[in-house]
A and B are shown apart, each in its own frame.
Chain A
Amino acid sequence: MEEAQNTVGQISGADIATAAKYLAAGFVMGIGAIGSAIGEGMVAAHALDGMARQPEMEGALLRTMVLGQAITESTGIYSLVVAIVLLFVV
């Protein structure tokens, strides 16, 4: 690593690997969050629809909503785990 930093105008393979690692972690988190964000928003929107229509169902709807959001969130969590592995393990 230190040798590669001292030479000017030369990019070693380790440099490319490090850059690719950080870039990939950013992309993983950014793109991976899109899906779970859209999904969780849809779950919340439809739960709110149901609550507005039938306020007496609020308790059951809230529980089901939290459960559905937790399941939808898991793809986002997978991308978080992949990003952590890229940053700290690879």
Chain B
Amino acid sequence: MLEHLGEKLILHVTLGNFSFSFDIITVIMSWIVIIVLVVIALILRRGLGQDIEEKPSRTQAVLESLMDLLKGQLTSSFSSDKLARELFPFVSTIFMFVLVSNWLSVIPYCESPTRDLNVTLSLALLVFVMSQLLAVRMRGGIKYLKGFLEPYPFMLPLNIVSEIAKPVSHSFRLFGNTFGGAILVTVVSAKFAPVVVPAALNAFYGLFVGAIQAFVFAILTVAYINIAVES
């Protein structure tokens, strides 16, 4: 079991002068996460959209309280209500994607797509581009560029590095947590206690740490967007 640790199934595709490499399992698992989310959404959508006067159905009541919880936790750190209303769908989508992909790792033979640095890095780059574009839109291009020269012009390299460090730390945090947990579970189940302990460890790392990390990822998304828009 341990000798296969870290092995990947890579698909190499060459198109003319370009060659691409795909980690097949990551791609398949990401699609499974997307399909799970879409199917859940389609199932839960039935029974919604009724009259306001009627008593809300059970699904609707549960969904509304869940959405209220998510909204209260995620959007209360946005600097303005307008920003919160605009970006809540984006942030909650990222949260749900990361949450479901972390939780999928408790199913045997399922590998969480967030175990791959490419997935977390692309999510973090998405957030990075989003925050920079929002900063340009909110503050204007010249003011945005001037922000790099503050407080003194010779701080320019430092400011650029601090901007680049954000997506790097954002992605490595999620990747390190999921990958470290997966390695620990594999090592323990192969070398020390193959019976009950791995299941408990898997539940701890998959469900508990996975939920915390998904929440942290979403909160940090909010924080980075806030910093970029405000400063």
What is the interface of chain A, defined by CB distance below 8 A to chain B? 63, 66-67, 70-71, 73-74, 77-78, 80-81, 84, 88
Contact = CB atoms under 8 A, between A and B. Distances in A.
A80 B176 contact: yes
30 contacts: A63-B73, A63-B77, A63-B219, A66-B212, A66-B215, A66-B219, A67-B216, A67-B220, A67-B223, A70-B173, A70-B212, A70-B213, A70-B216, A70-B219, A71-B169, A71-B220, A73-B173, A74-B169, A74-B172, A74-B173, A77-B176, A77-B177, A78-B172, A78-B176, A80-B176, A81-B175, A81-B176, A84-B179, A84-B180, A88-B6
Contacts, number: 40
**A interface majority secondary structure:** helix
A80 B180 contact: yes
B176 A66 contact: no
Nearest to B169: A74
A84 B178 CA distance: 13
8 A-B pairs with least C-beta separation: A77-B176, A70-B216, A88-B6, A74-B169, A80-B176, A74-B173, A80-B180, A67-B219
B48 interface: no
Interface of B: 5-6, 73, 77, 169, 172-173, 175-177, 179-180, 183, 212-213, 215-216, 219-220, 223
Among A66, A81, A88, the one with the most B-chain Cβ atoms within 10 Å of its Cβ is: A81
**B interface majority secondary structure:** helix
B216 A66 contact: yes
A63 B70 CA distance: 12
A42 to B, nearest CB: 18
A3 B219 CA distance: 54
Contacts of A74: 169, 172-173
Contacts of A88: 5-6
